[in-house]
Amino acid sequence: MVPLERALDPYDAWITGVRREETDARSDTKAVEWDPKRAMVKVNPIAGWTQEEVDAYIAEHGVVLNPLVDEGYPSIGCATCTLPVKPGADPRSGRWAGTGKTECGLHL
């Protein structure tokens, strides 16, 4: 997490793409909250969006996706702990596969 901490150092707030429906741990995410770990404001502008709303926004605005999404990686983490997801499986099931984790630690 050192690169993230270094990147955030000059700022008073940071913006994420965290959404409530992604995991149980994110279900009470607020649009704006205090991040005690970093002692700064954390802004989650799409916290209340559904996957359908994200997909519609991407289509409407021509958002460029990471090419790995088309290769079966709907949720991308680090190279050593992210696997492709089987069709119909939870989109985050490829993250930390086999570890029992649901979060990397950046957002908790």
Rounded average pLDDT over 63-78: 87
3-state secondary structure of 50: coil
d(CA 23, CA 64): 24
Instruction: Clarify whether 81 is annotated catalytic.
Output: no
Residue from 15, 58, 76, 104 carrying the catalytic annotation: 104
d(CA 72, CA 101): 20
Rounded average pLDDT over 18-37: 93
pLDDT at 2 over 90: no
pLDDT at 108 over 60: no
Domain ranges of the chain: 2-64, 65-98
Q: Counting Cβ atoms within 10 Å, is residue 92 exposed (0-12), middle (13-18) or buried (19+)?
A: middle
Query: What are 37-64's pLDDT values in tens digits?
Result: 899 999 999 999 999 999 999 999 999 9
d(CA 71, CA 92): 14
pLDDT at 105 over 80: no
Instruction: Count CB-CB contacts under 10 A for residue 79.
Output: 6
pTM of the predicted protein model: 0.78
* Calculated CA dihedral for residues 96, 102, 104, 105, nearest 10 degrees: -160
